[in-house]
Structure 1
Amino acid sequence: MIETAVVVAMYVVGLAMLLSLWRLLRGPTVPDRILGLDTLYVNTIALLILFGMHLDSSIYFEAALIIAMLGFVGTVMLSKYVMRRDIVE
C-alpha cells in the first residue's frame, strides 16, 4: 500500500514540477519567476525524497539536503539582486 502511495505521490509532484516550470518560463514579472524557481526547488526536494523512499536508499536524502541549501542561497541572492540590483554588500 505504501509503495503505491509513494508512486502516486511521485506523479503528483512531477505534475507540480511541470506547473512550476510553466510559471518560471511564463511568469509575467521577475518575482513570479523567482517564486517559480523556488517552488521548483521545493518540488525537486520532494521528488528526491520520494524516490529515495521508493528505492530504499539514503543517498537521495543527502542530495535533497544539498539542493535545499543551494536553493535557499540562490533564492536569497536572486531576491537581493531584484531589490537592490547588487548581490554583494
Structure 2
Amino acid sequence: MAETILLAAAALIFLGVALGVLRLVLGPTAVDRVAAIDMLTITSISLIALYALVADRFIYLDVALVYGVLSFLAVLAVARYLERGP
C-alpha cells in the first residue's frame, strides 16, 4: 500500500515537472518563465523530500529546506529586476 502511494506521488511530481517545462518553453513573457522556474524548484524540492523518505535519509530534508530558501531569494531578486525594467 505504501509503495502505491509513493509511486503515485512520484508520478504526480513528474507530471508537475513536465507541465513546468512546458510553461517554461511556451511562456510568452519573462514573468511566465520566472513562475515556471519557481514551479520547477518547488517540484524538485518535493522530489528531494520524497527521495529522503524512500532512502530513509532525512538529512536530505535539510538540503530541500536550504534549496527552498535560496529559490525564494532568487525569485525576489528577479522580481525586483523585472519591476525596474531592463
Using the size of structure 1 for normalisation, the TM-score is 0.87
Comparing 74-83 with 2-11, greater Cα deviation is found at 2-11
Number of aligned residue pairs: 86
- What is the CA deviation profile of residues 37-86 of structure 1, one whole-angstrom value per residue up to 9, with x for unaligned ones? 11111111111111111111112211111110111011001111100148
CA contact (8 A) 1:24 1:36 kept: yes
Comparing 53-62 with 70-79, greater Cα deviation is found at 53-62
Counterpart-to-counterpart distance in 2, 1:22 and 1:53? 28
Structure 2 counterpart SS, 1:28 = coil
Structure 1: tracts of 5 or more residues without a match: none
Partner of 1:58: 58
1:11-50 equivalent positions in 2, closer than 5 A: 11-50=11-50
1:10 aligned onto 2:10: yes
Structure 2: tracts of 5 or more residues without a match: none
| Identity %, equivalent residues | 31
Counterpart-to-counterpart distance in 2, 1:63 and 1:14? 20
Query: Would you identify which runs of 4 or more consecutive aligned residues in structure 1 move more than 6 Å?
Result: none
Using the size of structure 2 for normalisation, the TM-score is 0.90
Code of the residue aligned with 2:18 in structure 1: it is L
Counterpart-to-counterpart distance in 2, 1:76 and 1:27? 19
Partner of 1:73: 73
